[in-house]
Structure 1
Amino acid sequence: MLIVECKGSPYEIGEQHGTAAKTHIDRCIAFYASLFEKTSKLDWSEVQDVASTFEPRIQQAWPEYYEEMKGVAHGSDRPISDIIALNVRTEIAFGNFSDGCTSLAWHTEKRAYLGQNWDWKEAQKENLIVLKIDQPGKPAIQMITEAGIIGKIGFNSAGVGVCLNAIRAKGMDPSRLPVHLGLRMALECSTAKQAVEALESYGMAAPAHILIADPDDAIGFEFSSTTTARLLPDAKGRVVHSNHLLLKHPGVVDTVWIKDSLFRAPRMTELSDALQTTDNPNPTWAEVSRLFEDEKNAPAAICRAQTGESESATLFNILMDLRQKKAVIRMGKPNQVEETVSLEF
């Protein structure tokens, strides 16, 4: 696993990212070029054209993110349109494809767990990197991301963490905040509540669910290109999500594009119900980690395999404890670990 450490101005951070991960970024662009052509009938020049429609808004509303993407482009010797395209890939696809996953936030008496399995095409696994960012006046960030994308899944030195669930529903608004830049914005906040309020203030460009947590709170932030809604913890301090909308969004039709999403969220709730008992009120790290290894309903399980009707596999699991400010990434299926990466502040 490539680990890239960046610090300085937004442009310097981007340039360090682009230089260190140039090979990964090249492969990442090739991966999405092929996928866009297959799923959206867009060649890469057309993808660049769509990405360019986001450029003025990003440059005007979020200039630091634009400068960082310029740095990534320079460091990786790619045009800025390539890097913008990666960072708005969710929006360009208009919901025709996206990553799926099962996520869990769980506050117990002793722990503030946040974790997920990230399920996507196996070919993209080699293009994942760990990005560590140290920028003046903001919390430091540690995340796992697709090379070239400046916001993804991870946590910060204030104890705020984020996970992502893809949602497929019609609608996209390029004047609003792209999903992956929303993940980055949340990771620059000091509390989960502050992060949700920041994202709500801009509105989101395409549908998704971002699970945002800190040492004391967790909020499931569901959104479409026209609506937002907050999913609050249940009586056991949990927020569980997969790849369909759980809350009402007026005027939005959720296609429930991954049918097994309807299975995975209740399955995670069932498994965690069984884990927490009167005799065991504080499940251990190892016990919570095993929740993500479940293969019931295989291959379309919480721990997923890319075979048969299942078009993606679990490429990594991440589990964080936001009170202890530590995380463990297990590459590959979490019951067949290929590599382990530990993160901490």
Structure 2
Amino acid sequence: MELHTLTTETTDPRERGTLIGTRFAPQVRRVAALYRQHFAVLGLPEERVRDIAGRSHAALRDWAPALAEESDACADAAGVERWAVAAVGARTEILAACPQPGRGECSTAVFAPAGAAPQTLQTWDWHDLLVPDALLHALTPAEGRTVKLFTEFGAPGKIGVNSAGLGVHFNILFHASDSADGGVPVHAVARRLLDEADTLDEAVALASTARVGASTALTVVTADGSASLELSLAGLAVVPAGEDGWLLHTNHFLDAGLAAADTGPADSMTAERLAHLRAVRAAMPGLTPAGRARAFCGDAGADAVVCMRPDAHKVPHEQWGTLLTLGLDVTRCAIDHLAGPPHEAPATGLARF
């Protein structure tokens, strides 16, 4: 995966989308085509994809019209049909309707003790065939405000931090209420929290207004309070940091009420990864980002359960790998990142964006 960087200073969403679509037209077109093919391989006809993308985009336009405008402008500038770019932004909602949605494996560890700067690390695990290129984007949603985020081309956001001192990590979840009818895309919820929220309370209030169609955990990190917001059509649950200051999340619900209807794939390693994070967390505080990544793996190193490798014996759409390791510095509005698994960090380090 090649990481591209972009800084936009305009506060106008249509101008911002045009800048993205113009500069990265080949990447936007390629990712849209790859997802189109992926949905077909998973058994979802294109008409159904267009329908869910359209419903999700309509929900986005009602809930966050500026983000819908940004998406449409990006598509127009890149020469892609608007629905195809919207489908990338709503790919979680579309996957919820697939007969074989796949797993989705990401691991997040946040140490946020009261009164101290949070220390975070996350792996992002996905199909490398879908993400030959990705974007680190520094943008200005409003005068005097900066957002830095990582995302796929066509998606409004995923993981990031803002100049108010708030960060967002992202873990996909699965729930019996997930709907094929579309809803506000969860990637857009993550982006709008970064664009508008200054505090955990503001993030919770804003997330609660989104009627989503798919489930996700957004771990919101600030120096004054952190929690995982578990979103589903069945409701929003707020999972606070433990008394020891730790927030750990993988890909199953932690809220007891929502967990009762968790529909995560049976072959997921989510429980094993959460147990691993609990076992290694004591070694992580106070380290550099690279040292934190090494501690994240523990003694197992490259063989740690949080370091995923594609299984070459499986068909391409069933191959998963750790494509990105990143940490958020909410006090300096920065993202430390490595395009690869965390065990590589001691040798390569993490770059700062």
Could you tell me the TM-score, scaled by structure 2's length? 0.87
Show CA shifts across 1:171-192 (max 9, x none). Answer: 3355742201101111111122
Change (3 A) 1:285 1:34: same
Q: 5+ unaligned residues in a row in structure 1: which ranges?
A: 277-281
SS of 2:142's equivalent?
A: coil
Distance in 2 of aligned mates of 1:205 and 1:238? 29
Q: CA deviation at 1:298?
A: 7.3
Alignment CA distance shift 1:214-1:30 (3 Å) = same
Q: Which has a greater percent of helix?
A: 2
Displacement of 1:110 = 4.6
1:98-137 paired onto structure 2 within 5 Å? 99-108=104-113, 110-137=116-143
Corresponding residue for 2:217?
209
- Mapped contact 1:4–1:20 kept (Cα < 8 A): no
> Given the alignment, which residue of 18, 27, 30 partners 1:27?
30
Q: Which consecutive residues of structure 2, in runs of 5 or more, have no partner in the other structure?
A: none
- Correspondence for 2:280: 271
Query: CA 1:235/1:5 → structure 2, altered by over 3 Å: closer, same or farther?
Result: same
Aligned to 2:86: 84
Q: CA deviation at 1:70?
A: 1.3
Structure 2 CA distance for aligned equivalents of residues 224 and 140 of structure 1 = 28
Which has the bigger relative contact order, CA under 8 A and spacing at least 6? Answer: 2
Following the alignment from structure 2 to structure 1, what is the Cα–Cα distance between the partners of residues 279 and 259? 31
1:119 offset after TM fit, Å? 0.2
Alpha-carbon distance in 2 for matches of 1:335, 1:273: 18
Structure 2 counterpart of 1:279: none
> In structure 2, do the counterparts of structure 1 residues 285 and 251 end up closer, same or farther at CA, with 3 Å as the change threshold?
closer
Deviation at 1:127, TM superposition (A): 2.1
Q: Is the counterpart of residue 323 in structure 1 residue 327 in structure 2?
A: no
Determine the structure 1 residue equivalent to 2:75.
73
- The residue that corresponds to 1:5 in the other structure is 7
Q: Distance in 2 between matches of 1:252 and 1:51?
A: 29
Equivalent position SS for 2:106: strand
Deviation per CA, 1:206-246, whole angstroms, max 9, x where unpaired? Answer: 11111111122211111221121111111221100001111
Taking the aligned partners of 2:152 and 2:9, their CA distance within structure 1 comes to 19
CA contact (8 A) 1:162 1:187 kept: yes
Residue 178 of structure 1 is matched in structure 2 by: 185
Q: 1:53 aligns with which of 42, 52, 55?
A: 55
More displaced, 136-145 or 313-322?
136-145
- State the Cα deviation string for residues 67-124 of structure 1 (Å, max 9, x = none): 1111111121112111211111111121623632000111246531122000011223
> Which shows bigger deviation, 10-19 or 165-174?
165-174
Structure-2 separation of matches of 1:62 and 1:185? 8
C-alpha deviation, 1:13, in angstroms: 0.7
**For residues 299 and 168 of structure 1, do their structure 2 counterparts lie closer, same or farther at Cα, with a shift above 3 Å needed?**
farther
Q: Which residue of 2 aligns with 1:228?
A: 236
Cα 1:132–1:117 shift into 2, 3 Å: same
After superposition, the Cα gap between the structure-2 partners of 1:248 and 1:317, relative to the gap in structure 1 and judged at 3 Å, is same
Matched-pair identity in %:
22
SS at the partner of 2:207? helix
Report the Cα distance in structure 2 between the residues aligned to 1:293 and 1:51, rounded to whole angstroms.
Answer: 37
